[in-house]
Amino acid sequence: MGAVWPGSDERAPEANLEFHAERLRPVVKTLGEHGIRFGIEFVGAPSLRAPYSYEFVHDVPVALDLGVRTAEPNVGPLMDTWHLHTSAGTLHDIRRLRGEQIVHAHVKEAPPGVPIDELVDMERLLPGASGVIDARGFLAALGEIGFGGPVIVEPFNADVGALPPPERVPAVAPSLAAVWPG
């Protein structure tokens, strides 16, 4: 999986897409030869795009475009509740995809009462903690399109980070179970 930074000061979007596709092509080709898929994680937060002269991969359509430009079948988007939310994406964006296009999924939550353009990327909550992001709807939409790949909780959160590693999964697992559809 590879997160693509959402901006550039050197390259306009079209030139940046071509640059990244060219650089990724041999990597994803080699991975594909070994049965490994490559997920492109777009970074949606406006606060991370704002400092740059040019916006780059920050939503579903551009992540898909970059994947197509690699010309390799083992590339697709990594869908993430946080980045979908902060890019102003919707569940409709997921429903327009096929399950096999998506490589991986991340779920987490945003704090309540914070406008999207003020969210701090590394301050996230466990899924379902605030209800700002519809994690259950996100997972249901993935199910509707036939996604059967891995789903993980990805909290960048001081409380979880402060736990000893053996305690993290037992502390996080109930949050995923609480938003899992069905």
Per residue in 26-65, pLDDT tens? 999 999 999 999 999 999 999 999 999 999 999 999 999 9
Instruction: Please choose, from the candidates 6, 120, 118, the residue with its C-alpha nearest in 3D space to the C-alpha of residue 54.
Output: 6
Region at 146 (left for phi over 0; alpha for psi -120 to 50; beta for the rest)? left
Q: Give the predicted TM-score (pTM) of the model.
A: 0.92
DSSP alpha helix (H) spans, the chain: 13-33, 46-49, 60-69, 81-86, 91-95, 135-144, 158-162, 165-179
Give percent of the chain with pLDDT exceeding 70. 98
Residue 2 has pLDDT above 80, yes or no: no
- For 128-171, write each residue's pLDDT tens digit: 999 999 999 999 999 999 999 999 998 788 889 999 999 999 99
Q: Which CATH number is 37's domain given?
A: 3.20.20.150
Containing structural domain, residue 154: 2-179
Instruction: Please choose, from the candidates 38, 182, 50, the residue with its C-alpha nearest in 3D space to the C-alpha of residue 104.
Output: 38
Helix (H, G, I), strand (E, B) or coil at 13: helix
Instruction: Please choose, from the candidates 84, 83, 74, 47, the residue with its C-alpha nearest in 3D space to the C-alpha of residue 149.
Output: 74
* Radius of gyration, alpha carbons of the chain: 16
Contact 85, 48 (CB under 8 A): no
In this prediction, residue 3 carries a pLDDT of 60
- Domain tally, the chain: 1
* Residue 97 DSSP class: S
